[in-house]
Structure 1
């Protein structure tokens, strides 16, 4: 598996494709390869027996079934007494066939991470799209126990491929209009089952990347009076993806179908391909709440982390009451033209002839 992965990494590096408009993902590929080659690497699959024997897999399966049914009842697509359950034994048997990664960064934080986001479950802030109720389960792969009292940070672009809280060439029209909003960004604590829940949208696409969500897992952070967090450590920096068939259906709906940027499919996205190596599965499990995407979606994913790992992602902006403001000396400042993390090998892009 390692030899196959290294061959894939070499092929992807040779293509020198962009991660964001004007950027380059060579650095991210190398970081992902280092994760896959780490001798102490473990994923959720490593904990399958413990999670099944403890009853956690069965409990989470039943909780997720109940949550989806609750959403369907609330939307008028089911009656309270109509809950039909799948045999938990089948779920236990299948669990861990593929699972999210751990220990080292699954991927980069990217050029649009904004620190200081609010603790909130509903991060829509008026954005339209395929409304998604997302449950993220966090598992400690060193103890095979759910991670409680951590904070899960989530952010993604809107349905037309624009990130809020930042201004950069290639981020939409490059104007400052998105700086004033923190839509589709937020933080949630993990509960007793290791679950953090959000209400967001399926992200749109933009040049060079398939549709994806970003996440960061915080441990030991302090909750501040202004409903943000500070301090602690970060164990995981990752990205979540959506099945291509579901993406095609989403992209055919409004406002996604107004997005004129070039589409990159999962199969052609190098970070997606690297993310699925080594038995990992960064793809959300998505269910329709009603009959169509417009009726809403319910999505779940399990993320394995080593809480003792230490990652050091770098934000570009800080969220304030006045919108996003630059973080001094950020390696992403000036993206994609002049930042320290820009271009090939993390340096400046080559000059045009």
Structure 2
């Protein structure tokens, strides 16, 4: 028996859970990121309502029990009962020191800038980006949990809840899925997360390798919401995360990152990188951990919706450059 959901026939066309399919000729699971998120939101709303119903019944039962037991409790006992003040466990988003610098999206964004677009693929909204969307190849390397703390500067440095962050980077050998030779059919190390109420979007990935000509980095784009994160024309910030040299030196001793140590040494320092040479004060990630377990990193990203964003041209030309024929530590530079 197939587990693929079947659409309903309606006068408006094929529908699923009350919504008309934007791609009527395709299966329900191939309707794109926007349709996926709407489905998840719809289901969460139902679960929330059910949860409230159960919670209300539970509270009513608790209230009845409390009232019953309270009648047999003396005033003296009440006065001697210690009380505990509630503590606020809400995470506070770290506000960025300024607006995140605008950087190139490079030649391999797969955001539609140069004809390749993964943002329209079903399943692209995900936290763990190590595997390809079809469950194929999984990128190997030192595990990295990375969190973007996104704030809305124009709104008063408040958490940018509902914004969408699209992330992509190369693998341990410096190869970009969908572009580099040998991995053109893969989609690993690419994904979107929706910023939560605390302003955070977290990804499970690996530490990237270092290829010729560029300091190790992670690309990211910020969109106003997930529905608009299917077209690069809607982007409101494009930038890159930088990595500290000490951490990279430790990671690049591992066999999985062969060639990366040499490439990093050839660059010499961040001052020689064509993107980070003007400073990394607002782009250097904060990291903890080690190569034997995993690293945990974060970056405070200030987004000012009052300023006009612009996607910088990649190494291959305007709009992000042309798809490469190869790349990685053992080949020519894959680009920016």
Instruction: Say yes or no: TM over 0.5.
Output: yes
Do the aligned residues in 1 keep the contact of 2:271 with 2:279 (CA within 8 Å)?
no
Aligned residue in 1 for 2:107: 111
Match of residue 272, structure 2, among 265, 268, 275:
268
Pair 1:140–1:249, CA change in 2 (3 A): same
**How much does 1:312 deviate?**
4.2
Partner of 1:348: none
Mapped to 2, the partners of 1:113 and 1:267 lie a distance apart of 24
Q: 1:282 to 1:314 in 2, by over 3 A?
A: closer
Q: 2: CA distance between counterparts of 1:160 and 1:199?
A: 18
**Equivalent in the alignment of 1:245:** 246
Kindly state the Cα deviation for residue 199 of structure 1 after the two structures are TM-superposed: 0.5
Task: For 2:207 and 2:230, locate their aligned partners in 1 and report how far apart those are by CA, in whole Å.
Answer: 25
Distance 1:134 1:308, change over 3 A: same
Partner of 2:235: 234
Deviation, 1:273, is: 2.5
Deviation track 1:48-76 (CA, whole Å, cap 9, x = no partner) reads: xxxxxxxx9x9337xxxxxxxxxxxxxxx
Report the counterpart of residue 213 of structure 1 in structure 2.
Answer: 218
Measured at CA, do residues 331 and 302 of structure 1 come closer, stay the same or move farther in structure 2, by a change above 3 Å? closer
Match of 1:144 among 149, 157, 160: 157
Counting matched residue pairs gives: 215
Match of 1:59 in 2: 91
Change in CA separation of 1:335 and 1:261 when aligned onto 2, cut-off 3 Å: farther
From the CA coordinates, give the structure whose radius of gyration is larger.
Answer: 2
CA drift of 1:232 comes to 7.4
Task: Give yes or no for contact 1:221–1:230 (8 Å, CA) kept in 2.
Answer: no
Q: CA RMSD in A?
A: 3.0
Alignment of 1:60-75 (within 5 A): 60=92
On the 8 A contact 1:206/1:262 being kept in 2, the answer is yes
**Residue 301 (structure 1) aligned with residue 276 (structure 2):** no
> Are the aligned partners of 1:130 and 1:296 in contact in 2 as well (CA < 8 Å)?
yes
Is contact 1:159-1:256 (8 Å) kept?
yes
Does 2:332 align with 1:332? Answer: no
* Match of residue 313 from structure 1: 311
Q: What CA distance in whole angstroms lies between the structure 2 residues aligned with 1:257 and 1:99?
A: 36
Aligned mates of 1:109, 1:154 — CA distance in 2: 11
Contact 1:284 1:299 in 2 (8 A): yes
Any conservation in 1 of the 2:223–2:235 contact (CA below 8 Å)?
A: yes
Specify which structure has the higher proportion of helix.
1
Deviation at 1:204, TM superposition (A): 0.7
CA distance change for structure 1 residues 161 and 193 in 2, over 3 Å: closer, same or farther? same
- Which of these residues, 124, 127, 132, is aligned with residue 130 of structure 2? 124
Q: Deviations over 1:75-98 (max 9, x none)?
A: xxxxxxxxxxxxxxxxxxxx77x8
CA deviations over 1:266-305 (Å, ceiling 9, x no partner): 24224223143xxx331111111xxx41301111110001
Runs of at least 5 residues in structure 2 that lack an aligned partner in the other structure: 1-87, 112-117, 132-137, 326-336
Q: Superposition pairs for residues 163-174 of structure 1, below 5 Å?
A: 163-167=176-180
TM-score by length of 2: 0.57
Indicate how the Cα distance of structure 1 residues 99 and 254 shifts in structure 2: closer, same or farther if over 3 A, else same.
farther
